């Protein structure tokens, strides 16, 4: 999980204007969702995969793991889409499955719908992963502020981001302290230890937030988090590239359906 953050901070595209990265990710996302066609989705999966693996040089194993994570939700969902209760007169059913009074069937239409859904989701996911792997939160926060979101909402998000790491650190150290004293040696101990970890985490976080507040007010904090303006430059090359990608995807969408696989 935290590796994602690390890659974003060390990405080759880190200095690129955040708006360009967000735009590119959303461009692909919107095109995949709008056209809802397998070819477009496939093209986006391949394009984003190529950028992520070959340009950003994210280790393939890690990227595959990132894609596999949501598959746990996605596959059952697609399966449910593929299955249908066939009408008695329906001819296109390829396979039927009887579960007591219930008869489930799979039709070619259902399959193509499920595959389409799967590809569309993967295309959307890989677009979001592109964003997550290239844009650290500092840049997103900056962009959100520029987008005139309420400053307090953006600050809240920024603090949450910082606190995730503090919380994870604290949980890790409590866990280590418990492991060294055989806190997880059997089921009974595991449950007990997990309980006290959660309780300890709350108490420690509270204590820590108080200390942090002290640190803030000692630096003249008055209820508003001010931050230094950051400057990014738009690059014409990137816009050209995005235009090219859009044109390419639109061209793919013109391929007649009977020529395309899906």
Partner 1 sequence: MSANIIETKGIVFTYADGTRALTDLSLTVPAGKRIAVLGANGSGKTTLFLCLNGILRPQQGQILCGGEPLKYDKKSLRRLRSRLGIVFQDPEIQLFAASVQQEVAFGPLNLGLRETEVRQRVQQALAFTGIEKLKEKATHMLSYGQKKQVAIASILAMEPEILIGDEPTAWLDQEHARKVMDLFYAISDKGTTVIISTHDADLAYSWAEEVVLLGRGKLLGKGPPEELFNHEEMLAAAGLRQPLLLEIYLLLKEKGYVLADTGTPPRNLGALSRLIREGSECRSSS
Q: Which is nearer to partner 1, 44 or 58 (CB)?
A: 58
Among 50, 79, 94, 217, binds partner 1 (CB under 8 A): 217
Q: Is the dihedral of CA 50, 54, 60, 62 positive or negative?
A: negative
Q: Are β-strands 83-84 and 93-99 bridged in parallel, bridged antiparallel, or unpaired?
A: unpaired
Among 6, 26, 55, 73, binds partner 1 (CB under 8 A): 6
Q: What number of chain residues touch partner 1 (CB under 8 A)?
A: 31
Q: What is each CA distance from 42 to 3, 57, 78, 136, in whole angstroms?
A: 26, 21, 17, 27
226 forms part of the interface with partner 1 (CB under 8 A): yes
235 forms part of the interface with partner 1 (CB under 8 A): no
- Region binding partner 1 by CB under 8 A among candidate stretches 4-12, 59-67, 89-97, 180-188: 4-12
Rounded Cα distance between 80 and 9, Å, is 39
Other beta carbons within 10 angstroms of residue 106's beta carbon come to: 19
219 forms part of the interface with partner 1 (CB under 8 A): yes
Minimum distance, C-beta of residue 149 to partner 1, in the bound complex (Å): 16
211 forms part of the interface with partner 1 (CB under 8 A): yes
Q: Which is nearer to partner 1, 62 or 184 (CB)?
A: 62
161 forms part of the interface with partner 1 (CB under 8 A): yes
What track of x and - describes contact with partner 1 for positions 103 through 142 (by CB under 8 A)?
Answer: ---------------------------------xxx--x-
Reduce the DSSP state of residue 230 to 3 states and report it. Answer: coil
Helices and strands counted in the chain (H then E): 9, 3
218 forms part of the interface with partner 1 (CB under 8 A): yes
203 forms part of the interface with partner 1 (CB under 8 A): no
Minimum distance, C-beta of residue 43 to partner 1, in the bound complex (Å): 34
Interacting residues toward partner 1 by CB under 8 A: 5-6, 9, 136-138, 141, 158-159, 161-162, 165-166, 169, 208, 211-212, 214-222, 225-229
């Amino acid at each position: 999980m935290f590796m994602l953050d690390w890659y974003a901070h060390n990405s080759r595209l880190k200095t690129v204007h955040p708006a360009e990265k967000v735009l590119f990710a959303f461009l692909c996302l919107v095109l995949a969702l709008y056209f809802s066609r397998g070819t477009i989705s496939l093209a986006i999966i391949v394009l984003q995969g190529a950028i992520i693996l070959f340009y950003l040089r994210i280790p393939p194993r890690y990227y595959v793991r990132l894609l596999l994570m949501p598959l746990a939700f996605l596959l059952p969902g697609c399966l449910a889409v593929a299955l249908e209760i066939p009408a008695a007169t329906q001819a296109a059913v390829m396979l039927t499955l009887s579960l007591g009074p219930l008869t489930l069937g799979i039709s070619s239409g259902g399959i193509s719908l499920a595959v389409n859904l799967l590809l569309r989701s993967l295309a959307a996911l890989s677009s979001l992963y592109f964003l997550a792997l290239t844009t650290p939160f500092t840049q997103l926060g900056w962009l959100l502020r520029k987008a005139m979101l309420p400053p307090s909402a953006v600050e809240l998000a920024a603090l949450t981001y910082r606190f995730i790491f503090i919380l994870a650190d604290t949980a890790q150290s409590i866990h280590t302290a418990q492991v060294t004293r055989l806190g997880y040696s059997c089921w009974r101990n595991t449950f007990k230890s997990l309980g006290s970890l959660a309780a300890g985490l709350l108490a420690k976080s509270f204590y820590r937030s108080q200390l942090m507040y002290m640190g803030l007010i000692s630096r003249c904090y008055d209820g508003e988090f001010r931050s230094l303006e950051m400057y990014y430059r738009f690059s014409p090359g990137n816009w050209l590239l995005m235009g090219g990608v859009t044109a390419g995807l639109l061209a793919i969408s013109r391929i007649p359906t009977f020529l395309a696989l899906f």
